[in-house]
Amino acid sequence: MVCAYCGKEAKGTKEHIVSSAILDLFPECYITFDETRNRIHESDPMVKDVCAECNNKRISYIDSYAKDFIARYFIQTYSENDEVEIEYDYVMIQKMLLKYAYNDMRSHKEDCSFFDEEIKQFLMNSNDTFPKTNITILCGIVVNVSPIPDAMFGNLKLRWGKNPFFYSNSTIRNVNYETGQITLNDDIEKQSFPDLEISYVFRFNSVQFLLLCWDKKSNKIGQNRTVLQYQYPYYLMNENETKAVLPICTDELNYHRFDHIHVRWDGLFEVGLMRKYANGGNYEYKELYERAWKEEEKKIKDEHPR
């Protein structure tokens, strides 16, 4: 086997697609739902084409950072009223998401030519702290603002997928505030981004990341970043900042359908608020259900130690 990182002939070792250390934080999520292969299994998602040297020495520093970062801010769940301020290392976040996307694409035997020598060296070299200008990352806080409890769709705290759907406009055309009637936008289009080569969405419990990889030679990156920054309810991570207060990026629909990236002005945000106020300001039964589910989760954690 040729190692996916160093290119040397070697025996393949198992490499987790998303770091095992992150999976360890959520032992209750012990089932893998592999939608692309239409399979459900109890083992971790992995690839087996990395040599022991790269796996254990050269790229493992990325997982250490990722675990600390996720554990520090995103094990807990948040409500609409929480202010979530994070401190981050932009280069390490770039490396973390690039590594996971690369692992995932190899596991699906996709064309990985984007991950050329330059990107691989960037990942393998812990001393390379120069951010890649053709990689854009946004992030936001995930809050279940819907009336539906989490567990109804399964224990889906860790999710990732290629090609999220970026909306070009609101999913709702009109809200009648007198009657509460909602008219959907039926000719909504997908936002296109020139020179986009790869896009991914990652959810780690209470945070969601969007990764966009552009053609290195593109002169449209600045324009694309501006669209992303103003069109979506996410924080655009960048090399000049180390701290940020993260916005909530979910509405009552895409909390559950995580790969639908709605625009910042989507009417669903308001519809969710209207629904909640009409309900007296809280979802009593959802809260009851979720408290009971937390107890259930403790049992699942004990039954499935990692």
* Nearer of residues 7 and 154 to Zn ion, judged by Cβ: 7
Minimum distance from residue 149 beta carbon to Zn ion (Å): 44
Q: How far apart are CA 58 and CA 72, in angstroms?
A: 24
Q: Does 51 help bind Zn ion (rule: CB under 5 A)?
A: yes
DSSP lists the bridge partners of residue 199 as 212
Does residue 166 contact residue 193 with C-beta atoms inside 8 Å?
yes
Structure tokens at 25: 């934080």
The sign of the torsion formed by the CA atoms of 239, 103, 150, 35 equals positive
* Count of residues touching Zn ion (by CB under 5 A): 5
Structure tokens at 220: 């449209």
Nearest to 29 by CA among 42, 16, 46: 42
* Nearer of residues 5 and 102 to Zn ion, judged by Cβ: 5
* Nearer of residues 6 and 148 to Zn ion, judged by Cβ: 6
Minimum distance from residue 105 beta carbon to Zn ion (Å): 17
Minimum distance from residue 194 beta carbon to Zn ion (Å): 34
* Nearer of residues 51 and 213 to Zn ion, judged by Cβ: 51
Q: Which stretch binds Zn ion (CB under 5 A): 20-28, 43-51, 180-188, 245-253?
A: 43-51
Q: How far apart are CA 55 and CA 62, in angstroms?
A: 11
* Nearer of residues 49 and 252 to Zn ion, judged by Cβ: 49
Q: Which stretch binds Zn ion (CB under 5 A): 50-58, 77-85, 97-105, 152-160?
A: 50-58
Structure tokens at 140: 């936001």
Q: Computed over its alpha carbons, how large is the radius of gyration of the chain?
A: 20
* Nearer of residues 6 and 227 to Zn ion, judged by Cβ: 6
Q: How far apart are CA 7 and CA 17, in angstroms?
A: 19
Q: How far apart are CA 295 and CA 87, in angstroms?
A: 31
Minimum distance from residue 107 beta carbon to Zn ion (Å): 17
List the interface residues with Zn ion, window 1-40 (CB under 5 A).
3, 5-6
**Of 18, 22, 54, 201, which lies in the binding site for Zn ion, with binding defined by CB under 5 A?**
54
Interface with Zn ion (CB under 5 A): 3, 5-6, 51, 54
